Amino acid sequence: MNNVVHSVPSDARSCVTGRQSNGTNKGDGLKRRVVITGLGAVTPLGNTVAETWEGICRGKSGAAPITRFDSTAFETKIAAEVKGFDPLRYLNKKELRRLDDFIIYALAAADMAMADADLIIGEERAERTGVIIGSGVGGLTTIEKEKVTLLQGGPRKMSPFTIPAILANLAGGHVSIRFGAKGPINCTVTACAAGTCAIGDAARLIADGYADIMIAGGTEAAVTPMCVAGFNAMRALSRRNDEPQKASRPFDRDRDGFLVSEGSGVVILEALSHALERGAKIQGELVGYGLTGDAFHMAAPPPGHEGAARAMKVALRDAGMDRTEIDYINAHGTSTLLNDACETDAIKTVFGEHATRLAVSSTKSMTGHMFGAAGAVEAIFCLKAISEGVLPPTINLDHPDSECDLDYVPHQARKKEIRTAMSNTFGFGGVNAVLIFRKWEG
């Protein structure tokens, strides 16, 4: 047996789940630190991260009457749509005709994230750069449109680009092609947790040494007749049609459901050593990832949101952090009766007395529910909260539910130094995904 003692690389750190270092030797129990160097987003609050964050800090709502289709016959006639977005800034007209909106949003967000990271892949980095873009429903807009084409015009009228436009993994596929990323490629399809899972899984690939750079996030374009009608049938959507900007009201006693939303969030993750070597601007460190299953119900959380509580505990263990070190939680906070109360219980279970000292807010009060894109966009909000020292508000919290009694940062953003932030996302099928970010201090 070789008795050579190897020095610990500069990006090594101890962790409950294993020693962390440069991870170049698979299976050696050593893991690399992972940092975020680029952010990109398209949301109902703005077509860039800067515009979106400015809207968050102002407590702006992205909700309005639906314009994507005639909603006259629908119980819910409001949504949080992307507004004023010019896809020609990112694609030509020929490309646009072949792509679903969920792919277009992902390409735009990835373009912005790569520019923000000041990163060019090139041949020397291609095989060490990967992509994971999650989506809850994929090309639903194209599915509905081409179904009408099939019924009205017959099979010969179908577009040859139908299948590539609807497959959920094609957002990541197009991002990979666009930037020449030849490393690991995947697609997380874990409903509302897809964006979070994409970022968490991407971080693990870097930590374990399978990639140096990952382009990761989530994307969705689900303001469609089928989606709105389907969630109406489940009694999951708000029907506050006369007050769209008041409709999403997490933790409020008068909440009556969420709003369908759309957009994309993409981040650039890098091994710390790689980011330092190229002099990248480090915007935060991803230190913890928790992923659990409820094994309970296809849509409803178990009593006390036990699976969510376990996911938060797993993320804390992965980060090697004590619960008292968390300063802020970006809650899943959907504005549904069951979710908000159960998530509050789960936070109390995990954090005990510290739960009363935590700031917790739901940015879905402003963005609506972006499904597969939600976790990625909310991860960006956590990173901005840390770097800017601002707690995002929960708007429309006019009458707090007696079962929801934490500090939800009501109505207005609040200045506060934040070193660590947790992002919660929970999806259909009992998926619970949690990320923990820490301020980068060199």
CB 61 within 8 A of CB 313: no
Q: What is the mean pLDDT of residues 185-209?
A: 98
Q: Of 10-14, 73-77, 115-119, 174-178, give the lowest mean pLDDT range.
A: 10-14
Q: How far apart are CA 173 and CA 303, in angstroms?
A: 39
Q: What is the pLDDT of residues 102-146, one digit of tens each?
A: 999 999 999 999 999 999 999 999 999 999 999 999 999 999 999
Percent of the chain with pLDDT over 70: 93
Helix extents (H) in 208-286: 225-233, 244-247, 272-277
Contact 389, 417 (CB under 8 A): yes
* Single-letter amino acid code for the residue at 363: T
Bridge partners, residue 331, by sequence: none
Quick one: which H or E segment has residue 52? helix 49-58
On the question of pLDDT at 202 being above 70, the answer is yes
Q: Collect all residues with Cβ–Cβ distance below 8 Å to 435 and sequence separation of at least 6.
A: 196, 199, 200, 286, 288, 289, 315, 375, 379, 382, 422, 423
- The yes-or-no verdict on residue 13 having pLDDT over 50 is no
Give residue 6's pLDDT band: very low, low, confident or very high (50, 70, 90). very low
Domains of the chain: 34-437 (3.40.47.10)
Q: Could you tell me what percent of the chain has a pLDDT over 90?
A: 91
193-209 b/e with 16+ CB inside 10 Å = b?
bbbbbbbbbbbbbbbbb
Q: Which amino acid is at 379?
A: A
Task: Please say if the pLDDT value at position 8 is more than 50.
Answer: no
pTM of the complete model beyond 0.85: yes
- Is 369 marked active-site? yes
What dihedral do alpha carbons 365, 193, 238, 368 form, nearest 10°? 40
Indicate which residue of 15, 174, 187, 192 is catalytic.
Answer: 192
Give the range among 25-34, 148-157, 177-186, 359-368 with minimum mean pLDDT: 25-34
Phi/psi at 323 (5° precision): -60, -30
Supply the DSSP string of 341-410, one letter for each residue: HHHHHHHHHHHGGGGGTSEEE-THHHH-B-GGGHHHHHHHHHHHHHHHTEEPPBTT-SSB-TT--SB--B
- Alpha-helix runs per DSSP H in 74-211: 93-98, 101-117, 122-126, 140-153, 162-166, 170-179, 194-207
Q: 24 falls in which pLDDT band (50, 70, 90)?
A: very low
Answer yes or no: are the C-beta atoms of 68 and 223 closer than 8 Å.
yes
Residue 199 has pLDDT above 50, yes or no: yes
Count of residues in the chain: 442
Residue 442 is predicted with a pLDDT of 80
Our answer to whether residue 332 is catalytic in this structure is yes
Tell me the per-residue pLDDT of 386-398, one tens digit each, with 9 for 90 and over: 999 999 999 999 9
The one catalytic residue in 332, 342, 382, 404 is: 332
**Residue from 174, 274, 369, 404 carrying the catalytic annotation:** 369
Q: For residue 197, what pLDDT is reported?
A: 98
